[in-house]
Amino acid sequence: METLKRLVLRTSSERRNLPSGRIIEVPAWVIHFPPALPDRLPSDATYWKQPHRTLPGSYLNKPLVDVEGEPLFGELAIARWLERDGWDAVWVDSYHSSKKNNLFWRNLPDRSEPFDLSSAPIAYNAYLQIYSINNGVGGFFDVLAWKQDRVVYIEYKGAGDRPNKNETRWLDSALTASVAETDLYFVLH
């Protein structure tokens, strides 16, 4: 995570009051990713290998940031920087996921197919354990990363993004699943 940490402008913590009554402080790193140009996916962007399926507007309205000339969503930018230090990482797209179809991305949805998380047992088992306790994907932190036997969870808060009830419920579920507080992070734009 050293490459990502080098981008940090300021550190702080995010205090959360969890539904269980527990209060935790999660490390927060302020990172300003430069905007990509163009700063959004094109309005006619389609799912990879599915030219008849236009991407939902929620993907098209999501800002792109620049990672050394590569336009990415902020969540994928975090994953890309982690990969430089030998981590594997995915964006957990909880907004477009459902009980039948969980979406994990390693690249933009107009350039890739969803990643099959079951091909990475340590990440998949960690995901399933929290998913089961949480009764779904709602609130799951945006980036799930793993390296050897360690799994970390990073919530990305882009401009205007605010905490929500699903997030605090997910934090409670993660801690119930024995996720260490030291494996939880916020990245604030």
pLDDT in tens, 100-113: 678 999 999 999 99
User: Could you give the number of structural domains in the chain?
Assistant: 1
pTM over 0.75? The answer is: yes
Average pLDDT over residues 43-64: 87
Question: C-alpha dihedral over 137, 91, 102, 39, to 10 degrees?
Answer: 110
Task: Tell me the pLDDT band of 60, cut-offs 50, 70 and 90.
Answer: very high
Whole-number pLDDT of residue 157:
95
For the chain, give the longest Cα–Cα distance. Answer: 48
Average pLDDT over residues 18-26: 96
Average pLDDT over residues 11-27: 96
Range of the domain at 180: 2-188
